[in-house]
Chain A
């Protein structure tokens, strides 16, 4: 198998030293993590690596040596070879690079079973060229840098196994911070796990190794990604320090609030019923839950928990700021007062329109001829209802402005609250339409059921409730007579009830659609993963779907050099993976079931609120 060496780009210009990294079992690959510089004491190096192995849980070893001689530093070759005796390895890599040349040179030293070192030195063949298979023998370990390392190609004529080497350059910081998807939640079996997750996992878990670098006064001086300069931000550090007391305070407030909410006073039946119907209360409970997740003082270790917390925090933040913007816009120039002043006239206007509609129905709507008596009864009944409703609205009108002013302040809690409030206000103001719909639907439903049952009687059949099927039945003459009479009456009254039902159902559907749109947008704001989207747009290497390779231009006779870049996750996968589960509000029935219910006159509640999904 070809030997693959993952070499970090930051070590390309490092001074000579020892390579520290990990061999990946079963894949014939090595991941180089850092370079330890001279001078060092081998005993201290061994001790340090042992300590790091314990801290990080990664199987770190000394992989080999790296030499990049500067002017005046000669004669390292034999010294480097002697080093391999100090650190007992199965395979020892010797990478070297010359100033001015781009490529690396690599020797592979293996131990035979006796413990002696065999050097698989491949000499460069003058005539050997790219005959097929001639490129072998690159025994370079380690990633080569761009442009290639020197490939020591060779292979003895007819030689056996030509070790081939691929250098894969990777950017250490990006690979360390990145997270491969799909995220593996369990502990994977190291034997069957594929190569790339192992590489990513190795770099990620070796974080303790990267604390000391060559500028620190420690037992060993190393070069890795931190040596190029550490990034830090004062604001982030300050926020990290401040976050713990803030979290504790918020958790305490939230426990108070939840205990208040679950107290006995507020849990009586009527209050519970009302609060389950109002979407504002639902949204409030939902946000409380969210805040509890975010403000828990324990740190989130798993990637999924961290992303969940971050998404909730960012979406809550954006929601509250949008809400504050809305409040400031509405309360400036007393727009809320103007809104309250137009509310009552709007309700009046709606009521007038309804009255006209009913007058039209009581006449000859669309040229249809209604049953006069039933028409008048229903029309007067609904007209009286509207009259009552308008009286109530007028009774409330002096208080509406004040109520709206105070209730509108709760939009400070977020834009979602404002939208839920709007949906609730709409529901309250169109309550009469809902009532009309229920009356009309019930009447129509009764008519339809009566008709179907009497139709069965007409044909001499009966519905068997026990067996849930239609059976034949012999009726008496009186029963048949009355049944036929009733059937005829209901049949001729059907158009009238059907028309009222149709008109009020349409009105109700309009209101339901409007409320549905509001609920869908609230749901969208609640569940959209803003933090994950921001990461994908601005730090796309953090969420990785995979990798992509680029062949770096080679010098002749050099081994293969590849550059490994991170392939970011697709935008649709980001949304799908990191979507916050909500009490999603979606149509309960399919279109067919909905139409069937409408036809039969059953009451429809198209939007269903689920309780929060538990994943």
Chain B
């Protein structure tokens, strides 16, 4: 009996996002017309957390040393805690999932580092097509931390998006829903997802 659920991740190729960080793509085929793609970004790095915490607490100590006010220390602790909670709950995306179910619709969901999931479902009747679009992306890189020089660069990036139909005019595109906004995978990853999606859209 065939296993209806094929699960495979691309081990031969390592994917990166547009900034060069490593990401991973997982494709799961639940049935002939239902597939799920998960793009996972890098997790919260312990080095950065420690660096941030040390910086804040060191500056709080210096201020305390100068002003002899203990409220500075407690406020520094509160700031770090609140900042970390806000970051993992609202900012840091752990993985993004695209679930495409033929003739039913497409579900896009982002899962944050704290476990919170935000989901959106778009019905098939509203979807015109799934395409890869180009965009110009402003990138700012700090050239050298010592010199603190910032260079603005523009690069062309590709992103996968869903085109929605206009209810009044079936041929026109009313809006565009971009996918994988936080993980920002590169073209090779997007092409694989695109090809799979087009197979399913063609069937139904």
Contacts and interface: CB of A to CB of B under 8 A. Distances in A.
Nearest to A28: B103
Given A2-B33, A2-B104, A549-B101, A556 B123 contact: no
A133 interface: yes
A546 interface: yes
Interface string A159-197: 000001010100000000000000000000000101110
Interface string A120-143: 000000001110111110000000
Contacts of B121: 546-549, 567
A257 B111 CA distance: 56
A295 B2 CA distance: 64
Nearest to B124: A195
Contacts of B120: 546, 567
A560 B119 contact: no
Interface string A1-30: 110100000000000000000000000100
Nearest to A560: B31
18 contacts: A1-B103, A2-B102, A2-B204, A4-B103, A28-B103, A129-B2, A132-B199, A134-B2, A136-B32, A546-B120, A549-B99, A549-B121, A556-B1, A556-B5, A557-B1, A559-B31, A560-B31, A567-B121
A61 interface: no
A562 B30 CA distance: 10
A558 interface: yes
Interface string A406-421: 0000000000000000
B34 interface: yes
A560 B107 contact: no
Nearest to B30: A551
Interface residues of A, number: 35
Nearest to A551: B30
A345 B120 CA distance: 62
A2 B121 CA distance: 18
B4 A551 contact: no
Interface in B88-112: 99, 101-104, 107, 109
Interface in A541-586: 546-549, 551, 553-560, 562, 567
Given A166-B34, A549-B121, A560-B33, 18 more contacts: A2-B33, A2-B104, A4-B103, A129-B2, A130-B6, A130-B32, A133-B32, A135-B4, A135-B32, A164-B31, A164-B102, A546-B121, A555-B4, A556-B1, A557-B2, A557-B4, A562-B104, A567-B120
B48 interface: no
A517 B19 CA distance: 47
A559 B31 CA distance: 8
Contacts of B6: 130
Nearest to A168: B104
A134 B32 contact: yes
B115 interface: no
B32 A554 contact: no
B30 A194 contact: no
A423 interface: no
Contacts of A129: 1-2
A558 B31 CA distance: 9
B104 A556 contact: no
B126 to A, nearest CB: 7
Given A548-B109, A551-B34, A567-B121, A128 B4 contact: no
Contact of A4 (B5, B32, B104, B107): B104
B143 interface: no
Contacts of B33: 2, 135, 164, 560
A151 interface: yes
A548 B123 CA distance: 11
Nearest to B199: A132
Contact of B2 (A28, A166, A556): A556
Contacts of A556: 1-5
A196 B123 contact: yes
A199 to B, nearest CB: 11
Nearest to B122: A546
A554 B32 CA distance: 13
Contacts of B1: 129, 556-557
Contacts, number: 88
A548 to B, nearest CB: 4
Contacts of A554: 4-5, 30-31
Contacts of A547: 121
A130 B4 contact: yes
Interface string B3-36: 1111000000000000000000000011111101
Contacts of A132: 32, 199
A488 to B, nearest CB: 55
A128 B6 CA distance: 15
A166 B30 CA distance: 11
Q: Which 3 A/B pairs are nearest by Cβ-Cβ distance? A: A129-B2, A135-B32, A2-B103
Contacts of B103: 1-2, 4, 28
Contact of A551 (B99, B126, B199): B99
B125 interface: yes
A196 B126 CA distance: 12
A367 to B, nearest CB: 34
A2 B33 CA distance: 9
For B4, B34, B109, the residue with the greatest tally of chain A CB atoms inside 10 Å of its CB is B4
Contacts of B30: 551, 554, 560
B123 A151 contact: no
A85 B32 CA distance: 33
B152 interface: no
A201 to B, nearest CB: 15
Contacts of A28: 103
Contacts of B125: 194-195
B203 interface: yes
A37 B125 CA distance: 36
A548 B32 contact: no
Contact of B34 (A195, A548, A560): A560
Interface in B54-88: none
A166 B32 contact: no
B169 to A, nearest CB: 13
B203 A133 contact: yes
For B101, B120, B199, the residue with the greatest tally of chain A CB atoms inside 10 Å of its CB is B101
Nearest to B102: A2
Interface string B113-134: 0000001110101100000000
Given A2-B204, A135-B32, A548-B119, A194 B126 contact: yes
Contacts of B102: 2, 164
A229 B125 CA distance: 37
Contacts of B107: 548-549
A4 B3 CA distance: 22
A33 to B, nearest CB: 20
B115 to A, nearest CB: 15
A445 B131 CA distance: 63
Contacts of A2: 33, 102-104, 204
Given A130-B4, A547-B121, A135 B101 contact: no
A151 B29 CA distance: 16
